[in-house]
Amino acid sequence: MNRTKIKGVGHYVPERVVKNTDLEKVMDTSDEWIVERTGIHERRFGARFEESTTMLAKKASEKAIADAGCQPSDIDFIIFATLSPDYFFPGCGVLLQRELGICETEIGALDVRNQCSGFVYGLSVADQFIKTGHYKNILLVGAEMHSMGLDFTTRGRDVSVIFGDGAGAVVLQPADKGDSSEILSSHLHADGRHAEELAFINPGCHGGVHGNKDKQGYSDNEWDSIFVTQKMLDDHLLFPYMNGQFVFKTAVKKFPEVITKALKSAGKSPDELKLVIPHQANLRISQFVQKLLRLRDDQVYSNIQKYGNTTAASIPIALSEAVEQGVVQRGDLVCLAAFGSGFTWGSVLLHW
């Protein structure tokens, strides 16, 4: 069996900075409320009609590929994690392949739809392919362009103040003999009972079978589409929904559980960790997790203050920054952990 290492990493965030005070102008919210509840001061929004999830991913991927010392044509598989794809289908993986100019290689492209845990899930999938020798240069990217689909009115304020745009990418390769960098383990979990507690339900092909039929205004004509209805537009049902307090309560339980599980599997203790990179959901959640695991400030990475929650992109952006800043050196013990919609959650323990 091979061992897998992250050879290259890179990230890209759009230039446009949107401060809390900018949001105050379009909805009933305040800088004070947002900072106190989430820790977020500002986020980045992509350029409308110029950037998209795939375009952000392209820039992050180019950096990761260069950092790995290879060319786009060396990539032999793409894994793309996002909840804000350019198209409902096809997935962003093939669009990224095209943007990177490597369609002639005909390499496979897989889209991962595990929201905030998407990068961690993708890392685990990539790890299996590298370990078994199936692929040698996997590009894994997490990217989001949330700003295109949020409700920037007071009605949507509990959700829309939290999210931001960005992308992060890694290139995974087999570790060389004697290499101190490797993925040690991954731990993936889900609990579908809470699927609708943090969800973007419409448009969709569900037809109300999960119990939300009344609100959608479906026609009795069996040949009419149920994917999107006029009522969905009229009643503003085409935006994400979040049961914030329930998400918070579950997240502060699941993050420590899955980090502890990763450490136990490797026979390590929290004090041996150089860094935990939690999915940047909410600064308060990270602080809770830090306290519960008795970690020092320097052991938990946070950048949500400047980017908000970038969902599948948040861990690779944070990893890329931590490496860039020299916070993490080769061989250091790092735990990546995520929790989000589904609910899905997971962790990856690695020697950077």
- What burial letters (b/e) apply to 180-213, b meaning 16+ CB within 10 Å? ebbbbbbbbbeeeebeebbbbbbbbeeeeeeeee
**156 lines the binding site for ligand COA (CB under 6 A):** no
144 half-sphere exposure, CB direction, 13 A CA radius: 30
Alpha carbon distance 249, 327 (integer Å): 30
Neighbours of 148 (CB within 10 A): 15
How many binding residues for ligand COA (CB under 6 A)?
20
The answer to whether 200 touches 239, Cβ cutoff 8 Å, is yes
Alpha carbon distance 238, 149 (integer Å): 8
- Residue whose Cβ sits closest to ligand COA: 244
The answer to whether 311 touches 84, Cβ cutoff 8 Å, is yes
| Shortest Cβ 245–ligand COA spacing (Å) | 4
Which phi-psi region, left, alpha or beta, contains residue 211 (left: φ > 0; alpha: ψ -120 to 50)? left
Burial class (CB within 10 angstroms; exposed 0-12, middle 13-18, buried 19+) of 225: exposed
Q: Which of 16, 22, 24, 33 binds ligand COA (CB under 6 A)?
A: 33
Residue window 161-200: x/- pattern of binding to ligand COA, with contact defined by CB under 6 A? xx--------------------------------------
Based on CB atoms, which residue is closest to ligand COA, 81 or 242? Answer: 242
Binding to ligand COA (CB under 6 A) within 223-282 occurs at: 242, 244-245, 247-248, 251, 281-282
Neighbours of 27 (CB within 10 A): 15
Biggest CA–CA distance in the chain, Å, is 66
| Shortest Cβ 290–ligand COA spacing (Å) | 15
Which of 77, 76, 72 shows the shortest CA–CA distance to 59?
72
Q: Which span sits near ligand COA by CB under 6 A: 48-56, 123-131, 153-161, 220-228?
A: 153-161
Catalytic residues: 116, 279, 309
| Shortest Cβ 124–ligand COA spacing (Å) | 18
Binding to ligand COA (CB under 6 A) within 100-129 occurs at: 116
Based on CB atoms, which residue is closest to ligand COA, 170 or 285? Answer: 285
The answer to whether 217 touches 232, Cβ cutoff 8 Å, is yes
Based on CB atoms, which residue is closest to ligand COA, 218 or 241? Answer: 241
Based on CB atoms, which residue is closest to ligand COA, 64 or 283? Answer: 283
Binding to ligand COA (CB under 6 A) within 322-341 occurs at: 340
Measured CA to CA in angstroms, residue 103 lies from 77, 301, 302, 331 at distances of 11, 36, 36, 35
Residue window 126-145: x/- pattern of binding to ligand COA, with contact defined by CB under 6 A? --------------------
Q: Which of 3, 37, 231, 268 binds ligand COA (CB under 6 A)?
A: 37
Residue window 279-318: x/- pattern of binding to ligand COA, with contact defined by CB under 6 A? --xx--x-----------------------x---------
Based on CB atoms, which residue is closest to ligand COA, 221 or 245? Answer: 245
**Judging by DSSP bridges, how do beta strands 275-278 and 333-340 pair with one another?**
parallel
**157 lines the binding site for ligand COA (CB under 6 A):** yes
Q: Is the dihedral of CA 230, 232, 234, 239 positive or negative?
A: negative
Interface with ligand COA (CB under 6 A): 29, 33, 37-38, 116, 157-158, 161-162, 242, 244-245, 247-248, 251, 281-282, 285, 309, 340
